[in-house]
Each structure stands twice: as structure tokens, then as C-alpha cells.
Amino acid sequence: MMANYMIVRQRVTDLTRFQTIFDRLKPNREAAGLTDLGQFCAADEADAVIVVMEVEDISRAEEYWHSDVLEGRTEAGIVAHIDAKSDQVWLTDGLVKDRLTKPKRRRRPVDSEANT
């Protein structure tokens, strides 16, 4: 089975503070089926980090993102509020090649299709 990923880009006030709180919240991410693959510094913004996680189950990842567990964001020094389905959070759902070669599965509408 192909792995899926959650990729989050967020601005922070202090890298050390961010990493400390991020590490402390690891058990919460693991309980939601998220595996940390790395926390990266953005090439184009000195105060932005990009977090990449492998996703065990897309529904659980979405639940996690919308849960109260993210209240640690202020403590971690996250500058701006980030909502799932915004420009700063991406959740994959398989490879394009797999969609072309395997039987079609029910596809969720993207935001631009949902309101039409």
C-alpha cells in the first residue's frame, strides 16, 4: 500500500522553541497515526518551517488536524493560525500514476469543486 503524507508549512518565532514543543507532542501525533519524517527550514523564509509526516489513515489525520491537540501552537511559537485545506497544509491521497492504472476509487471533491 502506498503511503500518504501530511505537509505543513508554518511561520515560527523561534526554532528552538518550536522544536521543543513539537518533540513533546510526538505521542499525540503517533496516536493519530502520524509518523514524523522531518522538520525542515524553508529555503525562502528564515522564520518558516515545513513539517512532513507519513499518514497511516487520512481520516484520522484530518481529525487530528482539527482537534484540540493543536492548542500547543501558541506555546510552540507558531505565528499565524493555519487551517487544514488552506494554502499551508497538504494531505496526499495516493500517487497520480496509481489513479491512472488502478481501478477508480471514490474521489473526494477538491475545494473548487465542492461548492459548485
> Taking the complete model, does pTM exceed 0.85, yes or no?
no
Structural domain that includes position 21: 4-114
Per-residue model confidence as pLDDT tens digits over 70-115 = 666 666 666 555 554 444 677 777 777 777 777 655 555 544 444 4
How many domains is the chain built from? 1
Q: How far apart are CA 87 and CA 21, in angstroms?
A: 23
The confidence score (pLDDT) of residue 37 equals 93
The answer to whether 39 and 22 have CB atoms below 8 angstroms apart is: yes
- Torsion-angle region of 5 (φ positive above 0: left; ψ -120 to 50: alpha; else: beta): beta
- For residue 24, give the CATH number of its domain: 3.30.70.100
The confidence score (pLDDT) of residue 14 equals 85
Higher confidence at residue 13 or residue 36?
Answer: 36
